[in-house]
Amino acid sequence: MSLQEINEAKCEQLSQVDIGKAAILFSTPLCGTCKVAERMLEVVQATSVSYPIYKININFAPRFREQWQISSIPCLVVLHNRKVESQTYAMQSVDHIYKLLR
């Protein structure tokens, strides 16, 4: 099951509405490390994480790159009720991401 890709408008909507929690992977299509991070998130998503996990191409989200000060990719941003709860740059393992998203 692949991650749902969103655009900057959908990211804006997620950051403005009290949706509980959501996770967004900032990446680019040509980044090998991003592909590995995406695959690890797909495995975590299959283990029934209780909130949605999305991906967005950072090249098409300049506003959020600046607003959330994303310094490198891949970057996993966890939102909780309109606020950035955490930003993770090192996707160490599936287990590490699973514990982060629990």
CA 90 from chain centre, in angstroms, equals: 12
C-alpha to C-alpha distance for 58 and 24, rounded to whole angstroms: 11
**pLDDT, tens only, 49-90:** 888 999 999 999 999 999 999 999 999 999 998 889 999 999
**pLDDT, tens only, 11-60:** 998 888 777 889 999 999 999 999 999 999 999 999 878 889 999 999 99
* Three-state secondary-structure class, residue 23: strand
Name the DSSP letter for residue 58. Answer: G
Which pLDDT belongs to residue 19?
72
Check: CB of residue 22 under 8 Å from CB of residue 6. Answer: no
